[in-house]
Structure formats: C-alpha cells, structure tokens
C-alpha cells in the first residue's frame, strides 16, 4: 500500500506526498567495473557517548566500519577520513588516524574472505595549530607527520588540500615546493586533492591564485614533474568544463577522479577524447556515492558491460538529489549524506559529530526525501517513511 505523508514545502505550507516506493537497483553479482570508483564515506557518531558533541568526536566504530563493508560489497572503494567523514568539521586527526587504522584492518579481513576492498586515506595538515603555522616548512612538516603515520599502516595516500598551506603560501612556487617534497617521499602513487572553496572557504586561492586556469597550470606542472608518483587527481570545483579541460592535459597514465557532485554521470561516462585512455573519461572519488551507493554500483556495472543507456538511466535520476544535497552552503552536504544513511537503516539515529545534523532545515530534508524516492533510493520505504515522520514530529509537524 502506498505511503502518503504531509511534507513541508519551500512556500512554508504542508502538502501531501505519496511515495513511489521503488527500491534501488542492484548490480549483477561479480560484475567488474571499468572505472575506479571511490566513495568518500561518512562516520557514524556515538549518540550515547558522554561528551560535548560540538567539541569531541565520539564514533560508533562498529556501525562506521559496517558501512564500509557495505560499500565494498557493492564494488565501491572507500576514500577514508575525507571531508565526507567531517574531516575539519568535527573529526580531528587522532580520531581520523584511528578510523584509517580500523578501515584498513577491515579491508584486509574483507579481502581475506574473497572480496575486493580498495581504501585510500586522507593525508593532510589538520593536526597543526593553524595560528602557529608561519612558514611553508611548517606545512611540509605537517604533511610528513601524517604521511608517516598512514604509510606505517600500509595506507595509500590522498594528499588533501591544506588550509594551512592556503594561508601561508605567497605564490604558486610555495605550492610547488610543498608538493615536490610530499611526492618525492611517497612510498606509492598518491591521489592529489583539489577542493574548491565552495566546499571549504578556507581553501580559496589554492595553488597560489584565484584564477582557476592559472591554478590548473600549477597543479598540472606539479603532476608532470612527478608522473610516477601520482595515481590521479580529484577535483571538486562543480564545473564540468574545467574538469574536462584538465583531464585532457594530464600526463599519460594519470587519472582524473571526478569530485563533481553536480555532473558526475556525464563525466564518468566520458567523451572518448584522444587516444590516451584517461584523457577521455573520469574515474570517481565522490561523497555522493555514499548516499547513492546501490545505484552507483548498478550503473557502473552497466557501463562496464557496454550498456551506456542503462548507466544513464540508473545514475541520471540521482543527479537532482545530489545537487540538492550539495547545494550552497556546500560544506554542509555531509548532513544530507548521513540523513540518507539513517533513512535507509544503515544507522539507528540521525545525530552527527559536531552536532552537524542541525545544519539543514526541515524543508531541505523534506525535499531530499522526495528526491530520494524519485530516484528509487529508499532501500526500505516503510522504515524511511517512519523515520521521516519522526523527524517531522520533532519539528511540530503531524504527518
């Protein structure tokens, strides 16, 4: 029987909404992808911990790791301890390192049971007191400390954009110096990470300039100087034309990992440009894949099977949802990701590290619910409806 409930609208009224109630498509068992696809994964807070949730990160480790096993079971890799995990917005470095350790241990266990479990882990400078960082050498030291800790665990690095570097760098040459040191020391090829200021205002002017084309030149020059040490670069600029322009200029063998949560479907499908494989398509390192994991997996399976029409039919309807979750202020998108995990029964509560569940309005959640249903992403419609009604009741709405 269809579920109908009253949902708030952008006009400040209540309107009935009847669910489609279609559950997500699932990939065929054993399908291998022809793209590398990392999902940046969220963390599950421990709501029973006796801490101040705005100040101290308390993690439900069992549920957090169980969600990573869920992602691996769908063929997706895990980009660990990234901004989707609230890195820099409630998740501190000691807790991030523990998360990385537990994720790598779980990946080994998953692999030992016959599965495949890709993990790449965020390496940054967020443990530094940013007010005490005065020089580029301080930034280099910060990167080296996290690199050593992650590589000691056997982890592959995602070299995250650094707020400290954005603050103290005087020119593109300072970025070149830092990344030259980092890449020269990396034990295995890394994924570079270019996060636009819509995701983090403290990263404005990254690569030494606010001119995106000039910044791209600097990043490409760094990659060209160290092609054997760079697996790829993830860019999150929410500008598909910039991403396409950059991927066409990458050194041979270096991947473009799309971080464009607005245009990922067409960027992953690719345009077939050039003879160098990676210049005409994007792989993926996306926060939205956490929220749409079954659809993403099924779509990537269809793409690998040569069924591009099915790929777009599955992934296309998720794009309006993603654009809603990542709407400005974009940095609050993590709230929508965790809300989806709660609706779909992957955690028992809707509370977040840093109290971040409060960053979006009830009208935002109502529209998210509609869009998730429209994209066939509610895994258990009965449960999702019950939980949506619970949230509405907390806001004084009898649905």
Decide: residue 134, CB within 10 A, 0-12 exposed, 13-18 middle, 19+ buried: exposed
Q: What is the pLDDT of residue 387?
A: 98
Average pLDDT, rounded, for the chain: 96
- pLDDT tens digits, 342-351: 999 999 999 9
pLDDT at 274 over 70: yes
275-281 long-range contacts (CB < 8 A, ≥24 apart) are: 276/252, 278/232, 278/247, 278/250, 278/252, 278/253, 278/254, 279/247, 279/248, 279/250, 280/247, 280/248, 281/35, 281/247, 281/256
- Percent of the residues in the chain that have a pLDDT greater than 70, as a whole number: 99
CA neighbor of 355 nearest in space, from 18, 57, 30, 23: 57
* Alpha helices per DSSP H over the chain: 61-73, 93-112, 136-152, 163-168, 172-185, 212-225, 240-247, 264-269, 288-291, 293-304, 308-315, 318-325, 333-343, 362-374, 381-394
Question: How crowded is the C-beta side of 198, counted as CA atoms within 13 Å?
Answer: 15
- pLDDT tens digits, 26-82: 887 777 899 999 999 999 999 999 999 888 999 999 999 999 999 999 999 999 999
pTM to 2 decimals? Answer: 0.96
> For residues 377 and 107, what is the distance between their CA atoms, to the nearest angstrom?
26
CA neighbor of 33 nearest in space, from 299, 234, 278, 262: 299
Q: What is the pLDDT of residue 1?
A: 58
Residues 6+ apart with CB under 8 A from 310: 299, 302
Strand, coil or helix: 5: strand
- pLDDT tens digits, 71-118: 999 999 999 999 999 999 999 999 999 999 999 999 999 999 999 999
pLDDT mean over 348-366: 97
pLDDT mean over 128-140: 97
pLDDT at 277 over 90: no
Q: What is the pLDDT of residue 151?
A: 98
- pLDDT tens digits, 184-214: 999 999 999 999 999 999 999 999 999 999 9
| In contact, 230 and 190? CB cutoff 8 Å | yes
278 or 246, greater pLDDT: 246
Q: What is the pLDDT of residue 32?
A: 86
CA neighbor of 318 nearest in space, from 302, 347, 349, 297: 297
């Amino acid at each position: 029987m269809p579920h109908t409930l009253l949902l708030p609208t952008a006009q400040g009224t209540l309107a009935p909404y009847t669910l489609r109630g279609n559950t997500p498509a699932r990939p065929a068992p054993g399908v291998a992808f022809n793209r590398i696809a990392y999902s940046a994964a969220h963390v599950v807070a421990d709501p029973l911990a006796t801490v101040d949730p705005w100040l101290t990160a308390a993690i439900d480790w069992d549920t957090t790791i169980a969600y990573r096993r869920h992602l691996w079971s769908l063929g997706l890799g895990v980009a660990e301890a990234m901004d989707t995990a609230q890195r820099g917005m409630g998740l501190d470095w000691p807790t991030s390192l523990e998360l990385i350790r537990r994720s790598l241990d779980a990946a080994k266990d998953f692999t030992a049971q016959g599965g495949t479990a890709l993990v790449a882990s965020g390496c940054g400078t967020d443990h530094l007191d940013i007010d005490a960082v005065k020089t580029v050498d301080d930034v280099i030291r910060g990167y080296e400390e996290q690199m050593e800790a992650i590589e000691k665990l056997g982890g592959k690095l995602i070299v995250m954009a650094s707020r400290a570097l954005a603050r103290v760098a005087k020119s593109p040459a300072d970025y070149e110096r830092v990344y030259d040191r980092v890449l020269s020391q990396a034990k295995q090829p890394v994924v570079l990470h270019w996060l636009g200021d819509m995701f983090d205002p403290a990263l404005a002017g990254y690569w030494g300039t606010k001119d995106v084309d000039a910044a791209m030149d600097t990043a490409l020059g760094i990659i060209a100087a160290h092609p054997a040490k760079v697996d790829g670069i993830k860019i999150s600029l929410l500008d598909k034309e910039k991403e396409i322009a950059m991927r066409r200029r990458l050194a041979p063998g270096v991947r473009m990992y799309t971080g464009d949560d607005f245009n990922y479907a067409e960027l992953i499908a690719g345009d077939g440009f050039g003879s160098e494989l990676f210049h005409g398509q994007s792989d993926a390192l996306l926060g939205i894949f956490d929220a749409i994991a079954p659809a993403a997996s099924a779509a990537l399976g269809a793409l690998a099977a040569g069924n591009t029409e099915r790929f777009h039919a599955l992934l296309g309807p998720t794009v309006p949802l993603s654009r809603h979750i990542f709407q400005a202020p974009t940095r609050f998108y993590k709230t929508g990701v965790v809300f989806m995990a709660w609706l779909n029964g992957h955690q028992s509560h809707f509370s977040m590290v840093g109290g971040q569940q409060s960053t979006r309005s009830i009208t935002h959640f109502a529209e998210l619910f509609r869009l998730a249903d429209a994209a066939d992403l509610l895994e258990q419609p009965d449960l999702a409806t019950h939980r949506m009604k619970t949230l509405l009741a907390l806001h004084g709405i009898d649905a």
